[in-house]
Structure 1
Amino acid sequence: GGAAVGGGVGGAGRPPPPPTPGQSEAAWRAARWDFLGRIARAFKARVATAHTRDDQLETVVMRLLRGAGARGMAALAAPSRVVRPWLGVSRAELARWAVLEKVAYLEDPMNVSRAFLRGRVRHELLPALEAATPGFSDQILAIADQAATWRRDVERHVDAIGVVVAPSCERVSCPAAALESTTREGRAVLWPAICARAGVTLDAKGTRELVKFTTAGRGGSRILVSGAAIVLRRRAAPGEPPGDRFEVRRASSQRSPHSTRAWLGASEALPPRFGRFRWRRLHTAPSSASAAEQDLWTMGIPRGEQVALRVWTAGDRIRTAGAPAGRRVTRYFSEAHVPALDRPSWPVVLVDNEPVWVPGVCRGLTAPSRPGRPELIWYRCEPEFD
């Protein structure tokens, strides 16, 4: 939904500054896409570009020169949120139409430059290939169309296996069983498609490493892949189907994922959100003492107490039934298979400055978890890894 945005954007945003001399073509392109993406999100719209048949041909040839496989061969025809209505029209046809209809346009001076690879492909390599093999361009574009059809089939399969994309698009997860049950060749096709949904482009080495990691990685293990992205194996969170999941995290998620670091207040008014965790007050206590003890995502907090809620720190210790003298919370994290990347933002509940509850991980020896006590206020913590 929403109108497409392209050249003119009025007062909706400020265009990127002029490129710095010597700045790479990729840096210019990244600045343009960042600008258009921000404007599109502001209007809840989609970006529309004037890419033509010639742009597609040049892009496919450039990717061939870089050793791209079937996925990369789809180039501009690949499934995307970007709208490209003129992909089947040549640049010359579009220019003739603009003149005929008296539509004003600007000719980018870089179109005739040979300073970058695209210009050399456009003015030197493609004319030579077409002269040596008449029909070369049509053949390459036909292959690209087949690759785009193949990519759409792969995307439909990725949808069907239960891949979940976080609203931020910086985290993507999928059931581990869906990848374990296919062949090595199938994993080599699926991993790039899954990672792409988190904005991560896998290279050949990263794909090979993930194919091996699929069956070699244990719960809590992780691997670094192209673009400083991290793929980890974790247990399903509450609300997810049971079983292990693989999760892809783009590098930007790691820098400053949480703004909430601490909260202090009455036990009757825990905040509804703390970082990526939601706190829900329960109307009734658990049905039995055993249910309360087993569900580490739920706990009763004494009414009228002052409660502190903060993120875990490396030195935190908690006294539990199994360790009445105290034990480092990090050991409970390991036993609960909480990935190391999630721990710095994991909440800890304190009463009288003593940790009494690490949701989903452990409950302190002094934590009142027995139902049937009217002075307890029951809460359920629900993580949201998005």
Structure 2
Amino acid sequence: MGHPHLDVRRAVRTALADLPGGSTVLVACSGGADSLSLAAATAWVATRSSGALRAGAVCVDHGLQDGSAARARAAASALVQLGLDPVVTVHLDASRGPDGPEGNARAARYTALTAAASRVGASAVLLGHTLDDQAETVLLGLARGSGSRSLSGMAACSGSLRRPLLGLRRSVVRAALPAGLVAWEDPHNEDAAYARARVRHRVLPVLEAELGPGVAEALARTAALARADADALDAAAAAAFAVMTAPPASPSASMPGVVPGGVASKALASSGSSGDRRDRTQTPPGPGGAPPYGRAPTTSADDAVAPAGAATSPPGAATSPPGAATSSAGTATLPGLDVGELAALPQAVRWRVLRRAAIAAGSPPTDLTAAHVAAVDTLVTGWRGQAGIDLPGGLRATRRDGRLRFT
């Protein structure tokens, strides 16, 4: 196996190489083997940085299991002994909420991590997800059938969240755990009631046995390729949406069927961007982060579009289209999208534009599914005089006078 502790330390150094001197980072630690190994490596890197890096940690107690508060305090004590400072412990009650125990805990955890980083002025929060976690996430996304963004798995860097260990197998990370550190094993990781546990202990081992070794690595590579594709398509859709909703610059620009400069070519030409374009306002995906099967929201960067007329927008969220008006109820009234321009777009871009338009009009991103978007697309590509398509949030997509409207 080589030298696992060197591999983990190298991964941490690489993940933090772009931070300016004097930065503070926090390690999110549950007390499990993966996050403890990450914490130990981060502490080692910080102590040898000559003051260029300050490393602390945050332990989140979700309040979902008996003794969880005591375990969080024990993990915090171990982190202090590693030399991490500050060490923050947060106690939550994630038993209530609309998304079930896993979803509620995940949302509460990321909110707590962000708040803790803000309080101590941390530039980054490090998460202990491994290559195996990434492979599991890809399989769960594949089962949901929710598109390339879902297959792209977890980002190595998403806002202040960083995952240094995504390129390392779980076995390597755990082999790097220093002697004397006792890790806690979450019983949920072994509970077949959870889809991720079934993927981890049943599905992946069967795939490795039947298809040969390297399946997890192949799934992780698939995630990287899917992320690059999804980033490019999201950028093209954002560019097309911006062109199609911009105020007319000339009389010809407002004529139905006239594509000013060619929306499709403009969108594809202006979408050359890199990096993660995942919606920063949504809970990042991760272990346990799959929504229920059959729900399959087509998540994309479009989810960051603020509904037109909203009083405030989350940091980093796209603003309402320039041509959007607001109804007396405060909901969006978009000027409408030219059907001819939409039809000229590649389907992958057009569906993202339609999703973006629906979200801008006020449809909840988590409730807007691929089936909804496909139904709206029939108003563009399968027009037979339909009355319209009902969407989550009390919206209706209709086609009239060559324009698609969400009201």
Normalization by structure 2: what TM-score?
A: 0.45
Tell me which protein shows more strand as a share of its residues.
1
Normalization by structure 1: what TM-score?
A: 0.47
Query: Computing the radius of gyration over CA atoms, which structure comes out larger, 1 or 2?
Result: 1
